[in-house]
Amino acid sequence: MEIRRLALLVMAVAAAVVASVARVAAAAATSYTVGAPDGLWDMHTDYGEWVAARTFHPGDNITFTYSRELHDVVEVGKAGYDACSNANNVSSFRSGNDVVTLTAVGTRYFLCGLTGHCDSGMKIRIDVVDVTAGPTAAPPATTSTAAGCIVAGAGLGALVLAQAIVASMAFW
């Protein structure tokens, strides 16, 4: 029974390691659908509120989902955002399912270019902050992805081994 107890302990530790590494990996890049789950890219969603509830990091991406007959997406600078003007747009999209990768730290501004929509609140400001900043701070930067993979691999190996031991003891 000693071995069985040890095996269970090893299995629990291994599972915890795998879970924590998976969480770090997941934090590395997150995909967001703008406005979801309560809204989308539309005239009803409060984007200030939506943004405030989330933290965006480099590598994350945001998807604007909407009917292309009703809206579009224009990336603008701060002046354009403040004035609801797409005169000097950075880029524009109109597929109805536009994925934008937040490549670097900084602020990105988007609005709907259809007349009156931005003035009705259809604009969003995304602050992209460093991974070490914000409430969901990741572990120190010294933990490289490669090290994480090795740890995850070792954890998974131990988990499989421990499960095999426990399974074999079921026949005792």
Binding residues for Cu ion, per CB under 5 A? 71, 112, 114, 117, 122
Please say which residue, 122 or 131, places its beta carbon nearer to Cu ion. Answer: 122
Spatial separation of the C-alpha atoms in residues 166 and 10, rounded to whole Å: 11
Please say which residue, 4 or 94, places its beta carbon nearer to Cu ion. Answer: 94
Spatial separation of the C-alpha atoms in residues 97 and 154, rounded to whole Å: 39
Please say which residue, 73 or 162, places its beta carbon nearer to Cu ion. Answer: 73
Place of tokens 């490549």: 103
Min separation Cβ 137 and Cu ion, Å: 35
Min separation Cβ 71 and Cu ion, Å: 3
Please say which residue, 35 or 155, places its beta carbon nearer to Cu ion. Answer: 35
Look at residue 8 and give its three-state secondary structure.
helix
- Phi first, then psi, for residue 73 (nearest 5°) are -135, 130
CA count, 13 A, side-chain hemisphere, 148: 18
Helix (H) or strand (E) holding 154: helix 145-169
Min separation Cβ 103 and Cu ion, Å: 25
Min separation Cβ 162 and Cu ion, Å: 55
